[in-house]
């Protein structure tokens, strides 16, 4: 399949008119046959632990199974794609829930390949990343794998050969990040979604930077809950830090720091203000400063 044909079909199925995607989804049976087939085929190709998921929302599947399709919001259905996680570390016999247990079993760092396979248009892409769990600091770190080992390349080659034999076309990052005003997804309700958003998922993306984040909420002395995330470039230099604090009232304060620990963004989410709920108020420090300088 040519790239132009992939784009044409994407605009047909994932356009503002939801009838094509509705007709397709309503034709699904949801008996687990496709899952079992994927599991059987992947496991026959590589012995590495794997996890396979179909990304359509569970409630959408249940409504269709119980003849309640009129309950479905066809602008909010999840992803019509498969994600297949394959552990690249050698000598591990299972996925251990694909969390810190797996990372610790892999001496602190699990190396993972994720396949993204469209269930609508015959194409796929993949992402290779690592997941580290720091037990002492109680945080996770995710980052891109920049170079595969010889054994890992063999796993990738086997998988790609299999997918191409199934008639699936590989699409790369440059192609899938293209945006089109005619493309709509759950989180792009006004159009201008990327091909990756509609073909695979609009909630995940290729791992392009290093991210650290705390495993669970930290309770501060004043009773507030804190979660933090830090983002680094490929050489390990801090780019930004995000802190989220939840007050006892349910309000949320988000503060973004730059690599010099200077505040650059503030966002307040009020659980309730007046008669409205979950209202957001944002302040971009740099942009506000620039506007003040022009006065």
In a shared domain, residues 91 and 14: yes
In a shared domain, residues 114 and 172: yes
Residue 205 in any domain: the answer is: no
Task: Choose one of 149, 170, 199: the last residue of a domain.
Answer: 199
In a shared domain, residues 215 and 176: no
- How many independent structural domains does the chain possess? 2
Residue 275 in any domain: the answer is: yes
The tokens of 53 are what?
């998921």
Residue 124 binned pLDDT confidence (cut-offs 50, 70, 90):
very high
| Helix ranges restricted to H, the chain | 3-13, 19-26, 33-45, 58-65, 100-105, 150-165, 173-176, 195-199, 285-294
> What is the rounded CA–CA span in Å between residue 102 and residue 206?
21
pLDDT at 160 over 90: yes
Supply the range of the domain harboring residue 285.
210-294
CB 40 within 8 A of CB 32: no
Q: Which helix (H) or strand (E) holds 170?
A: strand 169-170
Residue 169 in any domain: the answer is: yes
265-276 mean pLDDT: 93
- 216 or 123, greater pLDDT: 123
In a shared domain, residues 61 and 176: yes
Task: Choose one of 141, 164, 199: the last residue of a domain.
Answer: 199
- Per-residue pLDDT reduced to its tens digit, 202-250: 999 999 999 999 988 899 988 889 999 999 988 889 999 999 999 989 9
What pTM was estimated for this model as a whole? 0.86
Residue 103 in any domain: the answer is: yes
């Amino acid at each position: 399949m040519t790239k132009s044909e992939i784009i044409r079909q994407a605009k047909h199925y994932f356009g503002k008119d939801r009838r094509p995607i509705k007709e397709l989804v309503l034709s699904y049976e949801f008996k687990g046959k496709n899952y079992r087939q994927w599991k059987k085929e992947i496991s026959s190709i590589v012995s590495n632990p794997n996890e396979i998921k179909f990304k359509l929302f569970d409630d959408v599947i249940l409504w269709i199974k119980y003849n309640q399709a009129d309950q479905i919001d066809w602008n909010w259905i999840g992803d019509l794609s498969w994600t297949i996680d394959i552990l690249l570390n050698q000598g591990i016999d299972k996925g251990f829930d694909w969390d810190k247990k797996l990372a610790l079993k892999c001496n602190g760092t699990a190396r993972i390949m994720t396949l993204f396979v469209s269930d609508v248009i015959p194409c796929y892409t993949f992402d290779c990343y690592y997941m580290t769990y720091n037990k002492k600091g109680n945080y996770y770190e995710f980052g891109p794998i920049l170079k595969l080992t010889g054994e890992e390349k063999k796993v990738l080659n086997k998988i790609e050969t299999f997918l191409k034999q199934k008639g699936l076309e590989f699409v790369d990052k440059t192609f899938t990040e293209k945006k089109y005003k005619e493309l709509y997804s759950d989180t792009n309700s006004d159009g201008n979604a990327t091909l990756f958003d509609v073909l695979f998922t609009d909630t995940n993306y290729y791992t392009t930077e290093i991210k650290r984040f705390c495993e669970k909420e930290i309770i501060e002395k004043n009773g507030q809950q804190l979660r933090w995330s830090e983002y680094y470039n490929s050489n390990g230099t801090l780019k930004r830090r995000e802190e989220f604090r939840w007050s006892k009232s349910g309000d949320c304060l988000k503060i973004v720091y730059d690599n010099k620990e200077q505040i650059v963004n503030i966002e307040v989410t009020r659980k309730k203000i007046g008669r409205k709920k979950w209202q957001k108020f944002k302040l971009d420090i740099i942009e506000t400063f620039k506007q003040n300088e022009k006065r």
